[in-house]
Amino acid sequence: MVHDTTVLLDERRVFEPSEEIKKRALIKNWDEEIEKGKDIEKYWSDNAEQFEWFQKWDKVLDDSNKPFYKWFVNGKINLAYNAVDRWIETEKRNQVAIIYINERGEEKKITFYELYIQVNKLANALINLGVKKGDTVSTYMPMCPELLIALLACTKIGAVHSVIYSGLSVGAFVDRINDAKVKVLFTADGTYRRGKVINLKSIADEAILQCPTVETIVVVNHTGTPIEISELSGREIFYDRLIEGEPAYCEPEPMDSEDPLFILYTSGSTGKPKGVLHTTGGYMVGTATTTRLIFDIHDDDLWWCTGDIGWITGHSYVLYGPLLLGTTTVVYEGAPDYPDPGVWWKIVEKYGVTKFYTAPTAIRHLMRFGTRYTNLYNLDSLRILGTVGEPMNPEAWMWYYKNVGKEKCPIMDTWWQTETGMHLISPIPISPLKPGSATRAFPGIEADVVDEEGNPVPEGKGGYLVIKKPWPAMFRNLYKDEERFLDVYWKTFPGCVYRAGDMVRKDEDGYFWIQGRSDDVLKIAGHRIGSAEVESAFVAHPAVVEAAVIGRSDPIKGEVIKAFVILKEGYELKTQLIEDLKKHVRHELGPVAVLGEIVQVDKLPKTRSGKIMRRILRAHEMGEDLGDTSTLEE
Ligand code: WTA
C-alpha cells in the first residue's frame, strides 16, 4: 500500500529536540556523526571495540567478492558471552536483565547472573542432545523467558537458531522446519492471548508429523495447562526435566565473525518464504550500535520493544541489541488492548519504562481510545519513543507524540528489514523530526532513490530505495537459495547496489519518506506476508481453482488481504464458503493473514505467459489508470 504522507500534514513543520534530550544525547552533532560514518571501516570497527573478542579481526571489511561481503574477517567472538557472561563480572551482575510480564499481570524478573546460569544449563543440555556447532534449532514459543534463554543457549554453543513466530500455523511451520533441517524444536503448552490459552503444543504436534529431521521436542510448561507428552517416544521432553542436574558453566564456543548466527524466514514476492541468513560478528556490532545510538541508551534505562521475537524486530531489539548493551529488556506476552487498552501504559508507569519502541499499527489501534487511557497513567518516565514496520502516518505520529510522549519525547521512526538486520534509515534523538519521515540514513549507511534503470532521481520524486554500501548486520545469503539472493536483491540495478523492495521519496533536506513496498509483499499490521503464499493457501482449498490477492488499505492494520477467487464448477461464494475459506487460510498461515474481503471472479488479469497481474487488480481497486497493459492477455 502506498501512503501518501504529503497530503496529510504540512511537511514544513519540524519538531526540534528538547534541551533535556540534547543534554543527555550520546551524539551531539548529527552531521558530524554522518561525516564520521563515511569512512565505513573506521566507523564500524570503532563500534566493534565495545565487545570482548576472543581474537581481533585482521580486516574490517572484505569486499573482494561482492555482494558476498565479509565483516571483521577472522575475528572470533561469542554472542551469548557478550550479552550475558561478561556482565556478571561487572556491577550489572545482579541487575535485572529480563522483565517478563503477561496479560494476566504476572511477572518474572531474571538478573544477568540468573540468566547466565540458565543459559549455561540449557547450553549443556543441548550439547547432551547431540546439538553441535552449525546444527539448526527451532523455537515455536510464546514470548516468555525460556524463549530468550533457548536462543542464547544456541548462540553459546554455536547452534543456528530459526525462530517460528507463534502466530504462524501448520503449513508455514512445516515448510520452515523442513527447509532448515531442524534437529531440536522448542515449544510450549500454550500462550496467553486475550484471556484464552492458545494450545501451541497441539499445533506443533500436527505439524511435526511432517517433519522427519526433528530428533527432540523440548516442551516448556508455560501456562500450566495439563498436556500429554510422550517421553517414552524418546522424542519429547519437558524443559525442566531437560536442564535438571546440568552443570552451571558452559564454555562459550569461539565463533568466527562470519559463522551463521540465525536463519529467519520472511516473505518475498514469489514462492515460499526465504530463509534470511545472518552471521555473528557484524550482526552484533550493527544491532548493539543502533540500539545504543538511536535510542540513546544509558545505564539507567529500562527498554521495552513490543515486537515479537518471531520477527526480526524481536531478534535485534528485544533480545540482542539491549542485552549486548547490558540493558534491562521488557518481554511482554499479550495484546496491546487486553484486558483493556491501558495495559501498555500501566506497564510503563509501573516499571518506569524509559525507551518504548512499537509498531504504527498498535498506535493507530490505541489512538481510537483518545486520551482516556494515556491520561490514566503517569508516563513521565518515557524519554524516547520509536516505531518500526510500516510507514507512520502523521496523525498517528502526532497522537503518539502528544499523548504518550507528552511532547517531550522524540520519535525514532526506524526503517529497516529482516534482511538488513539493523536500522538503516532513522533519526537519532537530536534530529529535527518531520512526522511520517524516517529522516536520513544512519551514519555509515548510504541510501538513495533510483529509477527503473538505477539512475538517481531528483529531489521530491518517487523511486526505488537502494543501499549503496555494505553494512555490518546485512544478511549474507538466502539459506540454500543463492540464486534468489542475487536475483532479488543485487541484480536489479547496476553496480551491485542493494534493492530494498520499497518505494521512497527524498525531500529537499535529504529526508526519506517511505511509501510502501514496490513488490507483491503485503504488510498486515506490520507483519510481512507474500501475496503468492496467500494465493497458494487459497488454491489448496478444494473449492478454489485460482486466486489472486492484493492488499486493501485498512485504517488500523495498514492493509488487509483482498482475494479474488475463481471457484470450481458447482461452488458459489456464499456465507458458509466464505467462512470455510477464512478458516482454511488461517489454518494454513495463521492469524497473520487477515482477510478483508473475498470476491468471486470468472477471470484474472494475466500476462501472455500466464502470470497474474496483481498490478492491474490494485489499480482497479484504487480506481486508478490501469497503466501499461500491453502484456495483458485480455
Ligand atoms: C516496511 C521489519 C516505513 C518496509 C523491521 C520494509 C517500514 C519492510 C519501516 C520490512 C518504516 C519497516 N517506515 N516502512 N519505519 N520499517 N518498513 O522484514 O516496507 O518485517 O521493506 O522488517 O517493512 O519488513 P520486515
Residue 177's H or E segment, with its range, is helix 170-179
Q: Check which CATH number belongs to the domain holding 222 and give it.
A: 3.40.50.12780
Q: What pLDDT does 7 receive?
A: 40
Amino acid at 75: G
Task: Return the residue whose CA atom lies nearest to atom 20 of ligand 1.
Answer: 528
Q: Are 240 and 218 in contact (CB under 8 A)?
A: no
Residue 452 lies in a domain: no
Residue 115 has, within 13 A of its CA and on its CB side, a CA count of 37
Q: What pLDDT does 9 receive?
A: 52
Q: Where are the beta strands (DSSP E) in 104-214?
A: 107-111, 136-140, 160-163, 184-188, 191-193, 196-198
Amino acid at 123: A
Diameter of the chain by CA atoms? 72
Containing structural domain, residue 138:
83-253
C-alpha cell at 563: 482475494
Q: How far apart are CA 178 and CA 181, in angstroms?
A: 5
Closest ligand 1 atom number to CA of residue 419: 18
Residue 209 lies in a domain: yes
Closest ligand 1 atom number to CA of residue 528: 20
- DSSP character string of 192-221: EETTEEE-HHHHHHHHHTT-TT--EEEEE-
C-alpha 423 – ligand 1 centre gap (Å): 10
Specify whether the backbone of 590 is left (phi greater than 0), alpha (psi in -120 to 50) or beta.
left
Q: What pLDDT does 629 receive?
A: 65
Query: Which stretches in the chain have pLDDT values below 70?
Result: 1-12, 230-233, 626-634
C-alpha 89 – ligand 1 centre gap (Å): 37
Q: What pLDDT does 175 receive?
A: 87
Q: What three-state secondary structure class fits 334?
A: coil
Q: Where are the beta strands (DSSP E) in 479-569?
A: 498-506, 512-517, 521-524, 527-530, 544-554, 558-567
Residue 348 lies in a domain: no
User: CB within 6 Å of ligand 1 — which residues?
Assistant: 266, 311-313, 388-391, 413-418, 438, 500-502, 514, 517, 523, 528
Residue 490 lies in a domain: no
**Domains: count for the chain:** 1
Ligand 1 mutation pick, 290, 415, 527, max ligand atoms within 8 A of CB: 415
Residue 175 lies in a domain: yes
CB-CB neighbours of 299 under 10 Å: 10
Ligand 1 mutation pick, 269, 294, 502, 527, max ligand atoms within 8 A of CB: 502
Q: How far apart are CA 167 and CA 156, in angstroms?
A: 27
Task: Return the residue whose CA atom lies nearest to atom 11 of ligand 1.
Answer: 415
State phi, psi for 496 to the nearest 5 degrees: 55, 50
Task: Return the residue whose CA atom lies nearest to atom 12 of ligand 1.
Answer: 389
Ligand 1 mutation pick, 388, 392, 557, max ligand atoms within 8 A of CB: 388
Residue 481 lies in a domain: no
Amino acid at 152: L
Closest ligand 1 atom number to CA of residue 527: 20
C-alpha 362 – ligand 1 centre gap (Å): 15
12 contact partners, CB below 8 Å, separation of at least 6 = none
Q: What pLDDT does 228 receive?
A: 73
Residue 522 pairs in a beta bridge with: 529
Ligand 1 mutation pick, 263, 311, 416, max ligand atoms within 8 A of CB: 416
Residue 159 lies in a domain: yes
Residue 479 lies in a domain: no
Instruction: Please state the pTM of the whole predicted model.
Output: 0.94
Q: What pLDDT does 6 receive?
A: 41
Q: What pLDDT does 5 receive?
A: 41
Q: Which of 93, 138, 80, 117 is nearest to 323 (CA)?
A: 80
